[in-house]
Chain A
Amino acid sequence: MENLALEGALTVTFVRSLFAHANIVDVDATAAEALPNVQVLTAADMDLGVFGPPPFPGVNPGMGRPLLAVDRVRFVGDIIAIVISDDRATGADAAELVSVDYDPLPAVVSPYEAAKDEVLLFPEVGTNVAARFGSPEHDEKLFGGCDVAVSGTLVSQRMAPCPLEPRSAAAELGPDGRITAWLSTQTPHQDRMVLAGTLGLDPAQVRVVGPDVGGGFGAKMLNVEEVLVVWLARRLGRPVRWTETRSESMVALPHGRAARLEFTLGGMRDGKVLAYRLEVLQDCGAYAVLGAFLPNLTGLMASGVYAIPRIEFESRSVVTNTTPISAFRGAGRPEASQVIERAIDTFAAELGMDPAEVRRRNFIPADAFPHTTASHAVYDSGDYEGALELALRSVGYDELRDEQRHRREQAATTQLGIGISCYVEITNGIAESEFGEVEITPDGGAIVRTGSFSHGQGHETTFAMIAAERLGLPVEKVTVHKGDTDEIAKGTGTYGSKSTQIGGAAARLAADDVLELAKQLVADYLEASPADIVLDPAVGRLHVAGDPSIGISWADLASRASADERLAELKAEHEFQAAPTFPFGAHVAVVEVDTETGRVELRRLVAVDDAGTLINPLIAEGQVHGGIATGVAQALYENFVYDDDGNPLTGTFVGYAFPSSADLPSWEAVEMETPTPLNALGAKGIGESGTIGATPAVHNAVVDALTPFGVRNVDLPANGENVWRALREAKA
């Protein structure tokens, strides 16, 4: 958007709350408006209603967010006023001159405190609880018959998604009254619907274009800022542009995770798990957005890769005076796998059994698919034990345990820890559909139009490969178009790692349809029957079966069809819908822990990730690498924290510990492919697996290193200070 040449675009700068919770007594913009060409708008100018919450079942509808804070601010970063200026520098000067008179209210930062309903964010609602899922009823006999039951708490700490490109949006009102919005988004078509709904427009009046986007990771979904930019373009009748600064992004772009998970796991001395209880307290931040709903996914995936006969799940989502929580790489599923993997290790430690062995005794066996868990998920396919064995072999598990034993005997300052995580996750979780269209171009190439979006996932390449393979075209002859709601009829976008499995599948089906259409056209031209025409994929030529000499290449077909004005016949669209798939894998992490300073060094991470058939292994591997780094960042580095008054303490990249290359090792990714029966490609999603698998592996490795010291848990992130605390508590 910053790179978009929009003649005469005005700059938008938001004036954001410096208080976590306060009544707004007065906003005085006199000094700001004294600067050249500066205009300031506040809630008094706003004619639109409340934004959200999303219409998820069970989420309290009274906790939506006013587009501009009305009378009250609920987190540091809430928008109080909008500055319109000619350029960025004047905007920054003016925003500073808008003087806001606050009447501070007590802030509630911890979800525990919020759950007490003493300080209310929405007094008119009467509670801070935004949603409840699962069942509050306890089965007294849940752990009946268990030899052993272990309990613990895992806090999946708040993370800032940190796409490297901060958000940006621009909008322009056309002479025909249609509005065009350029958004850094993952979901152009959905955004069009929500924008139209919020602004009271016919969706046909709204065009959304998603240019190249510098990473999304779930966070770049339509938010109040984008709605305001579009609203401003209509109201001012001038193009407008907004680009957030990093400091702004750190508090304004929704955060992820922020869940407290309490577990009890019970079973027999032989390692067999019988029952599991999971209770989640989800912090949703100041307004109920997607975050309020996430525990639902955590509950669905509670069973992990294990056949656990009895599971009880309960969650509450509460609002606090902090940045709203939304999806972030994994969204609800990492939490599930972090807690079950910690619980299994805790159980193994209690039994004095090797954690790999406890896992083996509880896996859902490879011949038991499809499998329905006690937490109501229907897993499509998997080989969990196979993934673990492959990971253990790759890492050299037995040799590592020998070295660990040696260091323990030596009482070495630097101890070795080995951590395992076996995970299963869900992609395309709500069984959505995706749109694909394929069209032959006059030069005999093809255009693929997809409703998926790409912000670094490389769908252009993957989808081009899929269509090229079906049509027998070189991949360079296929271009992929996405992200413009005027050009692409419909779409759902990219999230939940669903793009290849449904978007790619739709593109494949559309390519197959085009091939059938081409056969008819060729049959016409060659005066043959369409049933007799075949494609030679090696050379991209359609010919009569049995006689390759009678045929026509794509290029010739296209030029002839163009001349005859029949090219339009070589175009097909397809919508593909399918049930969720369940990628899985096993990660093994090796860490060294300095038992004096607490410092943790991640030495190795072996990742076996099975996402079904891989269309483009290079791209899939890249997704895994990035995912692992995010998972490790949660395990060892990042944590978004506030002080007791709700002031962010990690609101820049200086405070927030986003790791660099120097903090991480190379990754050892090992491929495994167990195709899903649910789509023709056999593909599952890969975008979030690395993240989901890596955090528990590294977390377990740190605790494993410290087992001889009596340590049973280390808080996340397992950094030097938290390790030191755990050691100190174990000694006490």
Chain B
Amino acid sequence: MKPSHVVALGGAGAVGFALLLMLLTHGAGFPLLAPSGSVGISERDLMVRTVYLMLIVVIPVIILAIFIAWHYREGNTKAAYTPNWEHSKMEEFIWWSIPFEIVLVLSAVTWSGTHELDPMKALVSTQPPLTVQVVALPWKWLFIYPEQGVASVNELALPVNRPVEFRITADAPMNSFWIPALGGQMYAMTGMTTMLHLMAPTAGNFTGRSANYSGAEFAQMSFTARAMDQSDFDAWVAQAKQAEALSSGTYSSLRVPSDAGPVRYYGSVDMTFADILDLYMPMRMDMTMPMGSSMMHHP
């Protein structure tokens, strides 16, 4: 096959493949590219900005590579040929400085973006944050609302436009708490608390799930995050209040490894988040956490 045929075939194949992929993903959701949450949107913007910055270098390099690969093929005897040329201070200086500069710009973007989107940082809002305590269980999610005194399994209710402060732990192997449409994830680990702030500007149902493999029925560890108006949220709380209590007895059956099971509600919370953390802290130690870390023992 002639090289030009290879190129034509490759081009046609790539276009066909792209069309096929577009067809197959038609109507599917892209929570990372079109997120709903304010944090997710900022993270998406950062992602897009990073890609553009890289393309400034990558596109010329690809064009250069294609040109060199084609022009200096053996068959093209018209092309220049300098078999012993091996060194050029100027050119090498340029090769080092191009990636250096782009990385410098990216570093600045990274530094500011990382601080701005620090999951620990409270979100700016006129409303005070709502605290939700998240417990990863095998293989289900428990959400405790300490201010409201209710809890639920595999259903997360959130008032629209109000920042939410998640405090996350696990009573299970390590999991990761992730609602792609709202924003990035955070690990859930036994005996300690990690923190994540998210906010849903509009009402809607979003899929959340564990992103870190945690055992056999890991694939079932998904839940629905339901962003709703304040009045709907109040109604949701009132309805949850009707349910049984989250006693240490109900909790012990909940923590037994099992399928996700149905959505459940608890009208009061006797087994608190602190109690769950304490399961792993028989000798409470106040370890000073390593520099820059945010792990807290108790809320």
Partners in one complex: no
